[in-house]
């Protein structure tokens, strides 16, 4: 059984050795980078520097979620918050992420995608949480190798969403995305991507995504109608149509599928 050191060694071998020089990230752009990423719960975020796997920036909210002091956090301490039962799966997910970005994509395509997967974390107080991890490269070497990565960890425990053994890769400008890719073989393979199964994802409209987002936040039909300035009946019709598209029997199942597919993040 692997552990956190296996993950750190994997990152060192596959990322750090290609970033020869340490350069801190200019944090003035952090707000802009965060603005386009939905958050359905409390979250913390950081900028990881691949040159030495240290953090250029860590949000103060990390303490309230997993109990770590932002000024003392290290990659080792952060990985220690991952549930022991999930460490092997996180390593497999990270290997699949690496394979997608560095074997499937060209270097110039890397800034166009973010990865997303779920995992279990345990805070220092012992609480087990379901987390969504989104990661996107935001700084690059001269030859376009990623050297800074923005990672956002969102607590979605309240949504009762299961942790899936898959990773999704979302195109940030509306291009081809790849959802629920199997991690069974530690590689990205189109053979494991069932296009027809995920056809519903591309059929979800902007308005329907808004409805799903507010349903996931726990808002009632009336509140959603007020927020979007539409009638209650229109919200109900949208919800009915969304459930039919996705093939879900209830809202909880719908939200779970949308989270793991990156539809509302």
Tens of pLDDT along the chain (265 residues)?
A: 568 899 999 999 999 989 988 888 876 556 545 544 556 778 899 999 999 999 998 988 999 999 999 999 999 999 999 999 999 999 999 999 999 999 999 999 999 999 999 999 998 888 899 999 999 999 999 989 999 999 999 998 888 888 889 999 999 988 888 988 999 999 998 876 766 667 888 889 999 999 999 998 889 999 999 999 999 999 999 999 999 998 888 888 888 888 877 787 6
Q: Distances from the Cα of 264 to the Cαs of 211, 248, 259, in angstroms? A: 10, 16, 6
Q: Distances from the Cα of 200 to the Cαs of 207, 241, 253, in angstroms? A: 15, 11, 14
Domains of the chain, each with CATH number or no CATH: 4-192 (3.30.450.20), 199-260 (1.10.10.10)
Residue pair 184/192 in contact by the 8 Å Cβ criterion: yes
Q: Which of 107, 140, 151 is nearest to 19 (CA)?
A: 140
What's this model's pTM, rounded to 2 decimal places? 0.88
Side-chain half-sphere exposure of 248, counting CA atoms within 13 A: 20
Residue pair 257/203 in contact by the 8 Å Cβ criterion: no
Residue pair 56/147 in contact by the 8 Å Cβ criterion: no
Number of other CB atoms surrounding residue 254 within 10 Å:
21
Number of other CB atoms surrounding residue 83 within 10 Å:
17
Structure tokens at 61: 């909210």
């Amino acid at each position: 059984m692997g552990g956190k050191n296996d993950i750190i060694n994997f990152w060192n071998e596959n990322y750090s050795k290609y970033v020869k020089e340490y350069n801190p990230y200019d944090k003035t752009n952090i707000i802009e980078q965060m603005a386009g990423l939905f958050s359905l719960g409390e979250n913390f975020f950081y900028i990881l520097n691949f040159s030495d796997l240290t953090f250029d920036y860590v949000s103060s909210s990390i303490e309230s979620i997993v109990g770590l002091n932002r000024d003392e956090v290290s990659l080792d301490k952060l990985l220690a918050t991952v549930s022991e039962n999930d460490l092997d799966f996180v390593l497999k997910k990270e290997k699949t992420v690496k394979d997608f970005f560095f074997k499937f994509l060209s270097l110039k395509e890397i800034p166009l995608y973010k990865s997303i997967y779920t995992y279990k974390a345990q805070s220092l107080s012992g609480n087990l949480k379901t987390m969504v991890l989104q990661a996107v490269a935001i700084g690059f070497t001269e030859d376009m190798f990623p050297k800074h990565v923005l990672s956002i960890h969102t607590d979605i425990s309240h949504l009762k969403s299961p942790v899936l053994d898959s990773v999704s890769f979302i195109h940030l400008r509306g291009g081809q995305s790849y959802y629920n890719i199997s991690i069974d073989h530690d590689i990205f393979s189109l053979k494991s991507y069932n296009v027809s199964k995920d056809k519903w994802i591309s059929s979800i409209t902007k308005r329907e995504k808004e409805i799903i987002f507010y349903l996931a936040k726990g808002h009632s039909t009336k509140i959603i109608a007020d927020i979007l300035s539409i009638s209650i009946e229109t919200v109900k019709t949208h919800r009915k149509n969304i459930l039919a598209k996705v093939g879900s029997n209830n809202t909880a199942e719908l939200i779970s599928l949308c989270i793991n597919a990156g539809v509302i993040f």
